[in-house]
Amino acid sequence: MRVLGIETSCDETGIAVYDTERGLLAHQLYSQVKLHADYGGVVPELASRDHVRKTLPLIKRALAEAGLQAQDIDGVAYTAGPGLVGALMVGACIGRSLAYGWGVPALAVHHMEGHLLAPMLEVDQPAFPFVALLVSGGHTMLVRVDGIGQYQLLGESIDDAAGEAFDKTAKLMGLDYPGGPRLAKLAEQGQVNPEFVFPRPMTDRPGLDFSFSGLKTAAANAIKKSDGTEQSRADIALAFQQAVVDTLAIKCKRALQQSGLKRLVVAGGVSANLELRRQLADLTTQLGGEVFYPRAEFCTDNGAMIAFAGAQRLQAGQSEDLAVITRPRWPLQELPAVNAS
């Protein structure tokens, strides 16, 4: 089954074609970073308008890359949430309209399920069951995964997501948008400085929920008190990154131990952070387990993960009617299960 995937949940237009027998056939991505850079963050209306301009040309390019015509597509999958409602509407309307015109089924895909299943695009795939850490600009959550659609939420952020905290702290430091990756780059020049010691939020109590708002405030106070030199900024970036990574690692260890599972999947934009990968690799090795990631280009939003996730459900017979419904907020655990057969 050949599935066209469309991702337009925020500031990246992602298009891909996935074949359930041959794997990923094409992958096209356009980032709106330059468009939003002057504003220091994503402007929803501008994001929606740019998706309108870019989606159809990228679909044509993806089909050409795959060597396919419209009549070769067996289904269309599009992101229906969570995300920016205007941006979601663009991809959903285009995806549902193409499916109707081509006479094939369409499926609304949960954005976070796309991230969760992204490591399945790799040769070394995690087997079910596993614990998933979904960590991005909009979400931080731990999920027990027993199969596609078989999700148990173990813990989530009660305020800022980890990626959001990275971006906001980077902005406080005067770093350009997108701030998270730039802060991580600056941290490479940092040194451990006793003047900058940040808390590991909610690690001193039971449970698997996260909170990064207070950590962001602690970083803001440190920035104000620092001497403003480049080295101090780098030291603060290092201390902040280490606090986030330590917090995520502590909660992952707790989730693996409580669930009795050995496999950990990490996905979402922050999963590209090298220090997080290093620490989680050490952690899972100590526990006698394994950690799985998508390749770097599939950590951030992309069409490949949507095409793959959609293909699993379309192949199982799931599809949408003609009504186009987007869900800016959409609990992951509401998704129906897909039978392993």
Question: Are 213 and 266 members of one domain?
Answer: yes
Question: Are 135 and 267 members of one domain?
Answer: yes
Which residues are annotated as part of the binding site for Fe cation? 111, 115, 301
Question: Are 139 and 275 members of one domain?
Answer: yes
Predicted pLDDT at 156: 97
Nearest to 47 by CA among 82, 81, 85, 77: 85
CATH of the domain at 240: 3.30.420.40
- Residue 313 DSSP label: H
pLDDT at 109 over 90: yes
Which residues are annotated as part of the binding site? 111, 115, 134-138, 167, 180, 273, 301
Instruction: Report the C-alpha gap between 145 and 123 in whole angstroms.
Output: 19
Q: In what order do the strands lie in the sheet containing 130-135?
A: 150-156, 140-147, 130-135, 263-267, 290-292
> What would the pLDDT profile of 280-296 be if each residue is shown by its tens digit?
999 999 999 999 999 99
Question: Are 185 and 284 members of one domain?
Answer: yes
* Residue 291 · residue 122 · CB < 8 Å: no
Asked if residue 122 belongs to a domain, the reply is no
Question: Are 39 and 57 members of one domain?
Answer: yes
Residue 61 tokens, joined = 């390019």
Question: Are 160 and 109 members of one domain?
Answer: no
Asked if residue 339 belongs to a domain, the reply is no
Question: Are 151 and 274 members of one domain?
Answer: yes
Question: Are 161 and 266 members of one domain?
Answer: yes
The predicted model gives 244-254 an average pLDDT of: 98
**Category of 149 on φ-ψ map: left (φ > 0), alpha (ψ -120 to 50) or beta:** left
Predicted pLDDT at 339: 79
pLDDT at 276 over 50: yes
Question: Are 236 and 307 members of one domain?
Answer: no
> What would the pLDDT profile of 188-225 be if each residue is shown by its tens digit?
999 999 999 999 999 999 999 999 999 999 999 999 99
Residue 339 tokens, joined = 């039978």
Asked if residue 306 belongs to a domain, the reply is yes
Asked if residue 340 belongs to a domain, the reply is no
The predicted model gives 12-35 an average pLDDT of: 97
User: From the CB of residue 53, how many other CB atoms can be counted at a distance below 10 Å?
Assistant: 12
Question: Are 260 and 306 members of one domain?
Answer: no
Q: How many domains does the chain have?
A: 2
pLDDT class for 306, splitting at 50, 70, 90? very high
**What is the extent of the structural domain holding 42?**
2-117+298-334
pLDDT class for 341, splitting at 50, 70, 90? very low
Q: Which residues of 66-80 are buried (b: 16+ CB within 10 A; e: fewer)?
A: bebeeeebbbbbbbb
Nearest to 160 by CA among 180, 183, 187, 144: 180
Asked if residue 286 belongs to a domain, the reply is yes
Question: Are 70 and 140 members of one domain?
Answer: no
Residue with tokens 């050995």: 262
Which residues are annotated as part of the binding site for substrate? 134-138, 167, 180, 273
pLDDT class for 340, splitting at 50, 70, 90? low
Instruction: Report the C-alpha gap between 63 and 27 in whole angstroms.
Output: 9
Q: What percent of the chain has pLDDT over 70?
A: 99
Asked if residue 305 belongs to a domain, the reply is yes
Asked if residue 124 belongs to a domain, the reply is no
Q: What percent of the chain has pLDDT over 90?
A: 97
Predicted pLDDT at 164: 94
Asked if residue 123 belongs to a domain, the reply is no
Nearest to 157 by CA among 113, 109, 201, 197: 201
Report the amino acid identity of residue 84: L
Question: Are 307 and 285 members of one domain?
Answer: no
Residue 139 tokens, joined = 């979400």
The predicted model gives 260-267 an average pLDDT of: 98
